[in-house]
Structure 1
Amino acid sequence: MTIFDTKIMCYTINTMDFSIIGLNNRDKRVYEALLLEPMSSVRGLAEQTSINRGSVFESIKSLQAIGMVSYVKVGTRHKYTAESPEKLHEIINEKRRELRDTHSAVDDYVSFLQPQVRSRDVVPHFAAFYEGQEGVASVLRDVLTTCRLQKVTEYRVVSSPRVSEYMYHNYPHFTRERVKQELYVRILRQGKPLRGEAEVSERRYLADKADNGAYTLIYGSKLATISINEFNQLSAVVIDNPGVANSHAAVFDQAWLSSEVL
């Protein structure tokens, strides 16, 4: 164990994820080492952190870029010092301002594109395909967006425990966002649930409790099906058609009336 490892134990009690300011865990270790040993060289930091010199230098450049590290030149060497941790608040506030500006730019862009979208010929059937956990995360975002834009307050789900185990990996806060949006969900379950019960929801069991590896969402004018293969890889298809969505909603409602209450 290095001196750095021993001293830094007090900092690990209250950790911060540096990814929220665009840095990584290695950058965090270098920054914390500089807090403990100001005026350190790259060589000294490498010894303290057990990180190779090249990687330490890359972290220093990243920290300098956001103003968290400064240096002075002593002879031919650069000696580095960490800026006050209070500067993290300034960085977060600046990112918030950038996000507000980005939202304004997006609003302008959407306003520019909407007339063109409305002027297109209406396509009676439209399907989009998605692969992997990030693709499924896109479907979950679409559920929230579509329900908000179409002023839908409830959607329907035929769940699959196998799919549920993996589908939220890239969007772990989906349920929190759904609850914040006051979006209610009725769930017909296949098999035993593997996740905790969701808030703002009602659940019932299908008569056949076998898990067929398909998770269906009926929301607004859309129908989405997420499936899983033997390698636990996810894929999804979203159909944007009111007739398709309404017919599946009617079938769901009939199954709901005859299903077992949990």
Structure 2
Amino acid sequence: MKLDALRHLDLDERQVRIYRALLKLGPASIRDVAAEAGINRGSAYETLKQLATKGVVSYFPKGRRRVFQAEDPERLMSLAESKQQALNLAVEQLRNDIIPALKQTQTTFSPGNVRFYEGDDGVELVLRDLLECAGRDPERGYSVISTRSLREHLYRPFPNFTRQRIERGIRVRVLAVGAGGDDAEFAERKWLPAGEGTDASYIAIYPPKVAMITLAAQNYPVVVIIDSQAIALTQQLMFDTLWGLL
């Protein structure tokens, strides 16, 4: 039986063991619960108190001792629903109040708006960021300038990127430098001639961000992401102008 979901209810392994022991025993003393769960008595008592606070364990006096019993497992569903409601409320507060208020205090531009990454992990981060940001407005999508020499390396760390883009209905316009490039759904492509000095590069424009990828020695990817509405819109303007001329 998989119990991983219980961790999302803030129930750790010891609490789960105690709860399952109580379900098996029925009403039981601390000593019996500890023995059944394989936990020392002091730890068992502290865990039982934590479970009682969560409402999945209750107790009643029997003489000078306390007898503990597990609440019906359906109580776990109530815990999950309460946690989900609280999370939904937190999401709404973040979206409508907290994030807008924090953005008002954010500086327009700082060195933190430029991020550097290396290797395939950096490339994958850019591609996933593209899906996340462009997915908010799939029809608008994003724009790309890509050289032939980089294309063979681009999707190495994220081979199902194109499939995920298509599944989300995200559109892309590509200015391909040099021949090649595969046709795909929701994609438009135009070509630019590649000169002798054309180096490997990939530029993705998805306002308010611009991502740039190139290859260092031994085809090692180097990534820069600029998070600036002004820069992104300027790059978009230049892209749109060039696109219209081709």
**TM-score between the two structures when normalised by the length of structure 1:** 0.52
Residue 203 of structure 1: which of 180, 189, 196 is its match?
189
Deviation per CA, 1:19-42, whole angstroms, max 9, x where unpaired? xxxxxxxxxxxxxxxxxxxxxxxx
Residue 202 of structure 2 aligns to a residue whose secondary structure is strand
Instruction: Quote the offset at 1:112 in angstroms.
Output: 7.6
Instruction: Quote the offset at 1:127 in angstroms.
Output: 1.4
Aligned residues: 156
2:169 equivalent in structure 1: 182
Structure 2 matches for 1:78-97, cutoff 5 A? none
Q: Distance in 1 between matches of 2:170 and 2:138?
A: 10
Instruction: Quote the offset at 1:248 in angstroms.
Output: 0.4
Query: Do the aligned residues in 2 keep the contact of 1:222 with 1:239 (CA within 8 Å)?
Result: yes
Moved over 4 A (4+): 104-117, 207-210
Residue 218 of structure 2 aligns to a residue whose secondary structure is coil
Deviation per CA, 1:14-71, whole angstroms, max 9, x where unpaired? xxxxxxxxxxxxxxxxxxxxxxxxxxxxxxxxxxxxxxxxxxxxxxxxxxxxxxxxxx
Query: Do the aligned residues in 2 keep the contact of 1:160 with 1:212 (CA within 8 Å)?
Result: yes
Instruction: Quote the offset at 1:197 in angstroms.
Output: 2.6
**Distance change in 2, residues 1:129/1:152 (3 Å):** farther
**TM-score between the two structures when normalised by the length of structure 2:** 0.56
Identical-residue share of aligned pairs (%): 30
2:23 equivalent in structure 1: none
Residue 247 of structure 1 aligns to a residue whose secondary structure is helix
Residue 159 of structure 1 aligns to a residue whose secondary structure is strand
Residue 119 of structure 1: which of 98, 101, 123 is its match?
101
Which 5+ residue runs of structure 2 have no aligned equivalent?
Answer: 1-80
2:233 equivalent in structure 1: 246
Letter in 2 for 1:119: A
Query: Do the aligned residues in 2 keep the contact of 1:153 with 1:182 (CA within 8 Å)?
Result: no
Bigger radius of gyration among the two? 2
Which 5+ residue runs of structure 1 have no aligned equivalent?
Answer: 1-100
1:153 equivalent in structure 2: 140
Q: Distance in 1 between matches of 2:94 and 2:118?
A: 27
**Distance change in 2, residues 1:164/1:106 (3 Å):** farther
Instruction: Quote the offset at 1:202 in angstroms.
Output: 1.0
Query: Do the aligned residues in 1 keep the contact of 2:139 with 2:171 (CA within 8 Å)?
Result: no
**Distance change in 2, residues 1:241/1:181 (3 Å):** same
Residue 231 of structure 1 aligns to a residue whose secondary structure is helix
1:218 equivalent in structure 2: 205
